[in-house]
Homo-oligomer: A and B are copies of this chain.
Amino acid sequence: MTRQELINLIQERRSFLCVGLDVDKNKMPEHLRNEKDGVFLFNKAIIDATIDYAVAYKPNLAFYEAMGIEGLVQLKKTMEYLHSLDKKAFTIADAKRGDIGNTSQQYAKAFLDPSGDYNFDSLTVAPYMGADSVQPFTVYEGKWVILLALTSNKGAFDFQFLPVDEQHKLFEKVLETSQQWGNKDNMMYVVGATKADMLTQVRAIAPDNFLLVPGVGAQGGSLEEVCKYGLNRDCGLLVNSSRGIIYASTGMDFAERAAEEALKLQRQMASVL
């Protein structure tokens, strides 16, 4: 999906909501836990219930890999379902990958290649290994790398805020250096909602890039703060909610309750767009 297509989608649905499909069997509704393809059926129900209010879906790979190879079969079915819909959505493999150049090429093939098992629009990537670990994800037409800049967890304070020169903390250096590796059409950044006031610094370095913002809801981030500091003229935000939507209920009404939560967020988003 190109930048313009994403912007159009955001305008059509009046939403920049991303739904995190972090499926843990132990938290799924009981009636689906032991069903064949239960994870796929859960995702399908969540997608059907929320796609009018959301523009993106973000499965976190860890949750699927934890179920073994069968988990990846469920992910593949989920992606096939998303690709089959008339209503389009931007897809994010939240995989936090990154390796030396020839190896990152293999990860890019795994997640972004249209002939692969998943055909995601984008992939999250960790910056520690530098340019050649990130650039292989920028070469697929209409596909994106989403680079970790400032994450929403406590451990973000261990290294991301270290001063690396008089002007820059590490996360700012990551933002600045990586501006050379891609552009606003193929590179986004992860910036955690729990550090929304930092979005001012982020926007000073990366005014035009889309930002993927996790941490709204369960992790405590505020949508209002994120919009205040993060919006740009093209919107420029994808705000993720995972647990707050997909586990809004663990009963038979899980999809309805997910729709309600997604609608709440969509209304807030519409009001600022």
Q: Residues of A with Cβ closer than 8 Å to B?
A: 22, 24, 60, 62-63, 65-66, 68-69, 72-73, 76, 94, 96-101, 103-104, 106-107, 109-111, 116-117, 126-134, 148, 151-160, 162-165, 170, 173-174, 177, 219
Contacts and interface: CB of A to CB of B under 8 A. Distances in A.
B170 A155 contact: no
Contact of A128 (B160, B177, B219): B160
A173 B155 contact: no
Given A126-B96, A127-B128, A151-B129, A170 B177 contact: no
A267 to B, nearest CB: 28
Given A68-B117, A99-B96, A104 B62 contact: yes
Nearest to A96: B99
A229 B202 CA distance: 40
Given A72-B69, A159-B174, A154 B130 contact: yes
Contact of A159 (B94, B128, B152): B128
Contact of A66 (B101, B107, B129, B133): B107
B160 A62 contact: no
Nearest to A110: B65
What copy number does this chain have within its complex?
A: 2
A204 to B, nearest CB: 19
A110 B60 CA distance: 13
Given A100-B152, A148-B128, A69 B76 contact: yes
11 contacts: A96-B99, A100-B153, A100-B155, A126-B129, A129-B151, A129-B156, A162-B165, A163-B165, A164-B164, A164-B170, A170-B170
Contacts of A128: 126-128, 148, 151, 159-160
B73 A106 contact: no
A110 B164 CA distance: 35
B162 A99 contact: no
Nearest to A97: B96
Contacts of A219: 100
B65 A127 contact: no
